[in-house]
Structure 1
Amino acid sequence: MSSVGGKAEGDISAIFASLSGASHDALPQRFADLKKAIVGTSHEAHQKLTESWVDLLAELQIGLQEIQRKGPSIIPEVSFKELTESGGSATWIKEVAKRGVVVVRDVVPDEEALAWKQQVRDYIKANPQVKGFPADDKQVFEIYWSKSQVQARSHPNVIGAQKAIMSKLFRADPSASLSLKSPVSYVDRLRIRKPGDGKFALGPHIDGGSLERWEDGRYRNCYREILSGNWREHDPYDVGRRLGVNSDMYNGPNQCSVFRAFQGWLALSSTGPSEGTLRVFPLLKEASAYVLLRPFFRPTLPTTDPNYLSADSWTIDVESTNFPNSFMAGAQELNDLTHPHLRLDDGGVVSVKKVEPGDVVFWHCDEIHAVERVHRGEGDSSVFYIPAAPLTAKTAEYLKRQKDVFLQGVPPPDFPGGAGENGFKGVGTSNDILTEEGRKALGFAPFSLKDGMTKSEEAVTKEANSILGF
């Protein structure tokens, strides 16, 4: 048996060179042509882009100083109650929008989250054939359909948090064909990281494709202000542009093919800085601008020169095929050699503040993030990966395929294929879905038509229900 997506078997390392050690060939000539097509060949266009680059580097320096000064305290947090109440504080919303990340406290009671973790441990023990990374000491498991995960995804507070974070941060034109208030459950795996582990050293990266950001026309349109020399005008929360994007042009393993507004996880342990937790670069707009502009500039000095990072030591590059650390069917990874101005190993990336079981962390789909290289804590660092994705025609099509493989117990379409949990003892079923809202999010019930919907929300809801067979 294989998943509907037809992807090769494997684990989370398949898409990350930093985990697998894979090397990549140089990109073909068409990528140099792509650069010219994007920014043009005129002196005026290059001058404007260069001025924007210089301005960006100066702004990054200011932001980096603040990150280094504040450390993990720079990460905003909000209670589940405040997140989901009507209105909401403009202060926390503005800060989350800037940072691209938030810790949501007390989404699920501690004892419920801890019980889910124990149930998963029992599930792993009953099915020792389960795959995971690293293969000799599994900690990131190819598990998607445990009863605990099904229950967590369908928990009313988890769905409430997804709905609130999307609808309060993202903005959509009334004509946009989506509903931010109808979360779709994008099924992902889980992690139970052991103290002392140094193998799950997932370096800085961005989810949702790599070269696709430049190569796919609709994806590129999400960043049109950046690529035209107006990075300050970029709006990371303009959701309408994200529709129809192709973020998986090369059918990469572990590559998300639909729009996730926020990646996220639900904490199953008490975990703080240095204890194997998430790390982020909390300057969303500036980091996005830098990543998108980086292929169009190259240094004129060796890395050993003290002026290497100065703005006037970089010049425009539309002749090479170089898109730093961007590869076909791979993740968009970053490091201090390929993206030096971000100072990723020198205070630019910070650990998320301490979380307790039942807390949720959400981070924007364009957020640079990583995992601490070594887990130096005394207890496990454990999470269920549960992102927030809105209802669109495309997510409904994915949801239909995902529902089909749920019923088979095989991996979701975007993930490494194979038999998965088919035949596992105690695998979750649709009977483990806790709520009616959970049944909708997982494709087992029609999405509701509600008073106050825009015409576009009503239309996309009807289209999604038709796709799902309701």
Structure 2
Amino acid sequence: MTYRRLLTSLASHPPSSLSSNSRLIPPYAQHLPSLAQTPSSSLRPPYEHTAQVANVKVVNRSLKSPMKFELLLSNPQNGSGASKLDQWKNEVLSNDQSRAGLEKRWREVVGGLERLRDGQNEVPQIAFQRLSSELSSASTVNKIKDTGLVVVRDVVRDSEAIEWAREVLLSVGERGGRAVYWHPSLLSARSNPSILSANSQVSSALLSSPEVYLKASTIIEGLHPQPIIPPTTSSDLWSTPGSLLSHLTLTPSIPNSSTIVSPTILAAEYAALRPFFRSIKSKISFYSSSSAEYLDLQNWELLDPSSPVGEMDLPHLKSIQIIHPELTPGDMVFYHSALPITTSPNSGQVFLPLQPILKGSEGSAQWVEEQKKAFEKGVPPPGEAVGDNEGLWLLEEKGERGMIGSRAGRDAMGY
């Protein structure tokens, strides 16, 4: 992520364009400015005036925290995912019974994708103030589970999300391009009652528990899936560890940029299974202009135990891919971690990952303690890699419980 390009891109959105994306859904529409706050010559909403403040904060930033410019050895990258996948591969592909189960599930998933080819594939969208009532409907929850994702609109104000992005990008610039994890704006976002409420409600609906910790991360550009270890049976894909990803949209979308998604949970399972299957004949082996023969189940086989993991292209999803609905600042998107959802390169749109971690899940207590220690030391949270070749990290300000602005936020951080 190039912070200078993103900051320039953010500055290119004048107040008029930001206001056109603002949706004054209650209770936000009820927060009216006083006469002392609003110029008498303007009837515009107060949200548009934040852009004028930003130029001042570049020089004298109210959220700027003192930092100790020290170097520290970083946390090692958590490589357990790769080792677990290798272990899974060796065990499953070497067992005839598990191989048969995997092949059976592959046929079921590809067959299900085929039936969706001519259907109307849509992404569920819910306004935040209706989230509770919508999620009380079993049919709505089942639709979200079957689709694999949901967009929750207007969780926070556009202006607030944009200002968080601006502050974080400026801080990254001051640190020579190094990421930040504990900036005051990130702490504000992670302790925001509306964000925590949305996370808790969706987690309750999809993961059957509202009790979650919040995984700290830095801002990212675009949306991207995270591979998982595939199930060997038709068990609920939402029951896999780390299955739910949550992202807060911080900046407006950029023209000529798009996010592509295959809106079905079958696509997530297909993406998890695909590396372990290969085509018997390549597409260029068929003289027909149609790819039907290439995609036919008879043309695909499970890898041998000694074979390397296959390619990561997803040919069976081409016919059901759609353009993801436009996301605007303050929106949140929740999706299964393996769901193929990818943003075009250099999209310019900034997101903050807010992945929920179920309390009581295996290893969660130890993990949240490690994350708290990282916060208090000013180092990256567990599993985050350091970009320096030397493996060194410029310390952020050391954190403490009182810096987290809400009780719910402190609870989500394990305090």
Q: TM-score with structure 1 length normalisation?
A: 0.62
Percent identity of equivalent pairs: 22
| Structure 1 outlier segments of 4+, above 6 Å | none
Which residue does 2:280 correspond to in 1?
300
8 Å Cα contact 1:113/1:358 also seen in 2: yes
Gaps of 5+ in 2: 1-71
Say if 1:273 and 1:366 are closer, same or farther in 2 by CA, change over 3 A: farther
Is the CA contact (8 Å cut-off) linking 1:272 and 1:355 kept in structure 2?
A: no
State the shift of 1:104 in Å: 0.5
Contact in 2 for aligned 1:80/1:105 (Cα 8 Å)? yes
8 Å contact kept, 1:349–1:369: no
Match in the other structure for 1:65: 118
SS of the residue 1:40 aligns to: helix
Tell me, in whole angstroms, the C-alpha distance in 2 between the residues paired with 1:100 and 1:115: 30
The aligned counterpart of 1:7 is 77
Aligned pairs for 1:317-336 (under 5 A) are: 317-318=303-304, 320-325=306-311, 334-335=312-313
For residues 162-173 of structure 1, the aligned pairs below 5 Å read 162-171=199-208
Q: Match for 2:331: what amino acid?
A: D
Q: State the superposition RMSD in angstroms.
A: 3.4
Counterparts of 2:182 and 2:237 in 1: how far apart (Å)?
32
d(CA) in 2 for partners of 1:314 and 1:122? 50
Counterparts of residues 19-418 of structure 1 (less than 5 Å): 34-40=91-97, 46=100, 50=103, 52-66=105-119, 70=121, 74-85=122-133, 88-125=136-173, 127-131=174-178, 142-171=179-208, 180-191=209-220, 205-208=225-228, 213=229, 223-225=231-233, 233-238=234-239, 242=240, 259-271=241-253, 274-275=256-257, 278-289=259-270, 291-292=272-273, 295=276, 297-304=277-284, 305=286, 306=288, 307-318=293-304, 320-325=306-311, 334-335=312-313, 339-343=314-318, 347-375=319-347, 380-392=348-360, 394-417=363-386, 418=391
Question: How has the CA–CA distance of structure 1 residues 85 and 397 changed in structure 2, closer, same or farther, with 3 Å as cutoff?
Answer: farther
Say which SS state the counterpart of residue 237 (structure 2) adopts.
coil
1:429, distance to aligned residue in structure 2 (A):
5.3
Contact 2:244 2:355 in 1 (8 A): yes
Q: SS of the residue aligned with 1:266?
A: strand
* Displacement of 1:294: 5.4
> Residue 290 and residue 373 in structure 1: after superposition, are their counterparts in 2 closer, same or farther (change >3 A)?
closer
Give distance in 2, aligned partners of 1:38 and 1:86.
44
Give the conservation status (yes or no) of the 8 Å contact 1:270–1:357: yes
Mark the runs of 5 or more structure 1 residues left unpaired by the alignment: 9-13, 16-23, 132-141, 172-179, 194-199, 215-222, 226-232, 243-258, 326-333, 445-470
Distance 1:382 1:286, change over 3 A: closer
How far did 1:272 drift? 7.0
- The answer on whether the counterparts of 1:273 and 1:353 sit within 8 Å (CA) in structure 2 is no
Q: 1:151 to 1:423 in 2, by over 3 A?
A: closer
Comparing 406-415 and 85-94, the one that deviates more: 85-94
For 1:318, the aligned partner's letter is D
Distance 1:316 1:120 in 2: 46
Answer yes or no: is the 8 Å Cα contact 1:410–1:419 preserved in 2: no
1:51 to partner: Cα distance: 5.4
Tell me the number of residue pairs that the alignment of Structure 1 and Structure 2 aligns: 330
